């Protein structure tokens, strides 16, 4: 799953904290006595699907190992505005210092999970999966992918090493679909091959070349349905994916056209953060 844990996760979170804190938290250190303690509630201020609470907890633990933490709802839960999703308590200074990093990650992850769930709901009752893409902000991909799963989506390849994906530039520079697939099979034996197609000729060429996946890009649902029927006549039909400006009001039509999955770049490249806040009180 490529989800960071242990030292790998801690290294990422320490880097985020270093970016946010700088030399020191001058506001907290100058206004809050060292012995002060606080208790707090993390509250969803908008309807959302919960994601990222273990990450937020670890942010606070890196600053104060003895922070008390209780998750009120599990990941993937849809909650209404005003729902308390976690509670925490401990020394006030580290809680205040870690607040922004923890909330930034929570808001982003919950926002991604929420949009993913909307797409998943839009194709409910079909066999179509909702896939993410590599359109993520550098450094945030593991968190974004976790959020997609919490929203009910499925992760596509994590990085360039996991699957051959022959796109338009690869096709042009390598001399066409057949040559690209043959070269990929020779250069990366055993690795699954996906081919992006934009014409029926490219589709039939990819099927004939034995591509494992075919990505139908920027076509109407009607065209996708016709091409799916063509591809499924093969003795070894490929996995069929549709992409290209997928929207909530159109994705179901693509699912009904017969694809196995729709990939949605907007899940992670245009993130609308959920509204989540930390409300602190003197303990």
Tell me the C-alpha distance between 133 and 92, whole Å. Answer: 39
Cα–Cα separations (whole angstroms), residue 30 to 21, 34, 100:
14, 10, 18
For 202, the token pair is 């490219």
Tell me the C-alpha distance between 152 and 127, whole Å. Answer: 13
Radius of gyration of the chain (CA): 23
Positions annotated as catalytic residues are 100, 135, 167, 196, 217
In DSSP terms, which residues pair with 216 in a beta bridge? 197, 242
Q: How far apart are the first and last CA of the chain?
A: 39
Contact between residue 98 and residue 129 where contact means Cβ atoms under 8 Å apart: no
54 CB-contact burial (10 Å; exposed 0-12 / middle 13-18 / buried 19+): middle
């Amino acid at each position: 799953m490529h989800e960071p844990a242990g030292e790998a996760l801690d290294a990422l979170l320490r880097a985020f904290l270093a970016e946010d804190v700088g030399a020191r938290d001058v506001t907290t250190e100058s206004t809050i006595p060292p012995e002060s303690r606080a208790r707090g509630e993390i509250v969803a201020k908008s309807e959302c699907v919960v994601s990222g609470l273990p990450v937020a907890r670890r942010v606070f633990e890196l600053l104060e190992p003895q922070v008390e933490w209780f998750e009120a709802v599990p990941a993937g839960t849809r909650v209404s505005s005003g729902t308390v999703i976690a509670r925490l308590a401990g020394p006030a200074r580290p809680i205040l210092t870690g607040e922004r990093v923890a909330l930034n990650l929570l808001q982003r992850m919950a926002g991604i999970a929420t949009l993913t769930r909307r797409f998943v709901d839009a194709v409910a009752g079909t066999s179509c999966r909702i896939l993410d893409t590599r359109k993520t902000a550098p450094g945030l991909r593991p968190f974004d992918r976790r959020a997609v799963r919490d929203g009910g989506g499925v992760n596509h390849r994590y990085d360039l090493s996991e699957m051959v994906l022959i796109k338009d530039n690869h096709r042009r520079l390598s001399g066409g679909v057949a040559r690209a697939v043959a070269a990929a099979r020779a250069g990366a034996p055993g690795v699954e091959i996906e081919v992006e197609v934009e014409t029926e000729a490219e589709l039939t060429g990819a099927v004939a070349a034995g591509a494992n996946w075919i990505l139908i890009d920027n076509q109407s649902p009607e065209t996708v349905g016709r091409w799916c029927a063509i591809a499924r006549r093969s003795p070894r039909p490929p996995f069929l994916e549709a992409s290209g400006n997928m929207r909530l009001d159109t994705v179901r039509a693509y699912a009904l056209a017969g694809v196995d999955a729709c990939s949605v770049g907007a899940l992670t490249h245009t993130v609308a953060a959920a509204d989540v806040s930390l409300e602190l009180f003197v303990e």
